[in-house]
Chain A
Amino acid sequence: MTTFVARRLRNGSAALLAVLAIGAGVYLYHLALRDTSFLTGWLLVAAFVTLAAYNARKKLPFIPLARSASWLQLHAWLGLVTVAVFLMHAGLTWPTGVLDTLLWLLFVGLLASGIFGLLISRLAPRALTGHGERILFERIPGFRAELAREVEELATASVRELGSGTIASYYSRRLRPFFARPRHLLRHLAGSAAPVRRLQRELRALHRYLSDDGRATVDEIEDRVVAKDNLDFQYAWQGLLKGWLFTHIPLTYAAGIVTVVHIVFVYAFASSSP
């Protein structure tokens, strides 16, 4: 079985060779005094269709169209080759017309969201594995509601059974909002555990005002705070993993449409070009 490092080297080398070969071809085309923009343009279209075909492959899991992992490798490396072809096509200058600017922005958006998706696809799983139990995304709201219900019961029971309002008061001010919905999502994405540590400090600070039973209740609540924090962590990262595609795929469709319009315009006005 090929290691990931070996595969990266192999595919990276192939992509580099492809860029060099395309570059050489375009250069020879240029030496022949031909308009290279048509060549690079159609190369871009071909690359775009191949890249978009990955989504179609996902819709056909029962057809033997190579493994999805192989398609993703092709998608990622061909995406990088496409950047080089795009630069050969559009150059390094800012586009002039509205349509070209739009297409340029869409392409950059696709590239940025693709690279972002690739990065978080590699980074997020390790973060999730290293941060407590992995939980199915769809189950997170249910678990959160369960924790919220348990903490509310502990807080109300403390009033009834311990005759103390300290825990209930803290609960209504600080914990009820915390358990009400996902919290500190950006902090989780940034790797910060400061919010949960703060809550833990505050809970432990209550110990001095409570009986032994009250302290035991606070410890139970603290366990649930940590569990809820893990749910938020899972929610933030898994949500990001699921959400980035909502940028990448609409951009693909938009770029596809604008590309068609671009091609129509190019050919409509090609005869008037020198």
Chain B
Amino acid sequence: MVESTAIARPQRWDRPFGPDMTDVDVEEVLEQPLFRDIDPGQFPDSLPLREIIRNDTRVRHFAPGDVIVREGDYGNSMFVIIRGRVRVVTDGVDDAELGRRVRKRPRTLFQALKQLWANDDQPEVRDISTYFHGTRNLDLRGEADDARMYLEDVEAFLRQHETVPLDDGAPFGEIAALARSPRTATAVAETATDVVELRWQGLRDIRRRDAGFREHIDGLYRERSLAQHLREAPLFAHLDDGVIEEIARHTSFETHGAFEWFRDFKKVKGDDPSAVLRQEPVVAGQDHYLDGLIMIRSGFARISERLDQGERTTGYAAQNDVFGLEEIVRHVRHGEPLTFRRSLRAIGSLDILRVPTTLVERHVLPNVPAALLPDSDADADAEAPAWLEQCTDLGLPQSLVDFFVDERTINGRATMLIDTDRCTACDDCVRACAAAHNNNPRFKRHGAIHDGVQVTNACMHCADPVCLIGCPTGAIHRHESGAVIIDDATCIGCATCANACPYDNISMVEIRDSAGEFIVDQQTQQPIVKATKCDLCYEQLGGPACERACPHDALVRIDMHDHRALAAWVNRK
């Protein structure tokens, strides 16, 4: 018998957030107002409060002018000021002020034409004179995870903006950490400032166990964001403010799944479907009592129903989708049991709002436009699939739906799909991409193929862009056009984004000068590397060059959440 390789079982805190946390640091954190009143007795021996603080927090020291968080960054942590003063900018910060040299508008026709003769012959050529060092009120200090941008003249910056000061003990950044949403404001250290940064896992564990902490954090969320989130949903948009406030007071906010789902997913990608399914915790079980309408705040969910010994995927849901509405409508109109007809499973990190059924019955159903309600007159049993090979809810082949969900392709807002029954491998798409990116193709015409559909290795500009988490300089961010782009000037080549991308769609490249020589680090003489990926041709006229260049209608950039467009594309044969 072959002897297995034995290793120590991976533990929750194998990778502490701040590896240098001392007992003194832990004590200091626990003395902060936000943590002071937490009762350690509520925490089990396996998860003591002190260890959460030791492993899920880190103390960071910022000098005057250091940018602590940037507006638009993806949040995975919150902060509490230990000492010092932080200024939160309330009137918005321009990309250029944060060092990003990103084009706001597409090129002009002449600039577009100029690419005909101005593109470089060598790969990955950069004009380093466009990099920000020494040219702006902004520079970079620190390395890797600790790298941060800093404002050389913080006084001048603060004079130009409206800001709110935060002092000792004040928390900030909790909304983005809790809701996995982009930071809503930029925070800058005005003086030398020490902050404790609590990562998402610790926030979740403390919030789960300590009622006071939970009420405080949730109170902030309710006060600042929940009502707005409800207003954004079509189902609630027509309600007046008083009703929204009442619903917000009774709505619970829940998080399911793993925040860093992409790490676990990489391990089981392409594996047995049941292994993939095991990573998806059930949020609402089929035939369970429907206590509230579920609205997806962020992340993704698989909708499935039991079939023999397995689960058949009937659809998927994303931000602002609701689950359980049809059952509530049927209950009200036909007296059917108030139970979920299908299961909802968290794919990756899922945040939901659970609106009590009674409130939906009382306020939403009587007022909502009929077009937003499901057709409850149809016989529920008659909607059961007639054929196993077809997913009737989405109008797609069942195996293709399973493939899209299992591979997490549904994350894409501009997924590149290629119909291999039409693709002649002419590579016009690759050439067009290269022509639009200084002769550097930004995707590989390669990828998993299922049912004649290839999910190509091109950035999908995900709805949940995990690549954004942890970028130390904010170089990778979502452009106002919706594309996830990398600002080359502020990218420090740490590869955090490339390692996080579950789809391997970000490449690290060594950059060169126009003569083709590598641009090297002054100290180490090693080549400078930068992250590169598809930018959806956000600065080109007419949109993605790849899609426009395909002569055979084989290639499409598609929002996977647009079920109708997806079905129309797949079924056009």
Residues of A within 8 A of B (CB): 1-4, 58-64, 67-69, 71-72, 121-122, 124-126, 128-129, 134, 136-137, 238, 241-242
Contacts and interface: CB of A to CB of B under 8 A. Distances in A.
B424 A241 contact: yes
Interface of B: 107, 109, 112-113, 115-116, 420-426, 428, 431-432, 435-436, 445-446, 449, 452, 454, 537, 540-542, 545, 547-554, 565, 568-569, 571-573
B552 A121 contact: yes
Contact of B572 (A2, A71, A72): A2
B15 to A, nearest CB: 37
B549 A68 contact: yes
A1 B551 contact: no
B435 A62 contact: yes
A3 B432 contact: no
Contacts of A129: 420-421, 449, 452
A61 B112 CA distance: 10
A134 B454 CA distance: 10
Contact of B552 (A3, A59, A72, A136): A72
Given A1-B569, A129-B420, A63 B113 contact: yes
A46 B113 CA distance: 25
B541 A1 contact: no
A1 B115 contact: no
Contacts of A2: 572
Nearest to A6: B572
Contact of A58 (B115, B428, B449, B573): B428
Nearest to B420: A129
Contacts of B541: 62-64
A63 B112 CA distance: 7
A68 B445 contact: no
B113 A125 contact: no
B422 A242 contact: no
A136 B443 CA distance: 14
Q: Which 6 A-B pairs have the closest CB atoms?
A: A64-B542, A61-B432, A1-B568, A72-B551, A129-B420, A69-B553
Contacts of B112: 62-63
Contacts of A136: 425, 445-446
Contacts of B540: 62
Contacts of A72: 551-552
- For B422, B541, B554, B569, which residue has the most chain A Cβ atoms within 10 angstroms? B422
Given A61-B431, A62-B435, A69 B551 contact: yes
B436 A61 contact: yes
Given A136-B425, A136-B446, A69 B552 contact: yes
A10 B353 CA distance: 48
B573 A3 contact: yes
Contacts of B573: 3-4
26 contacts: A1-B568, A3-B571, A58-B549, A61-B432, A61-B545, A61-B548, A61-B549, A62-B435, A62-B537, A62-B540, A64-B542, A67-B548, A67-B550, A72-B551, A125-B421, A125-B424, A125-B554, A126-B421, A128-B420, A129-B421, A129-B452, A134-B420, A134-B449, A134-B454, A136-B446, A241-B426
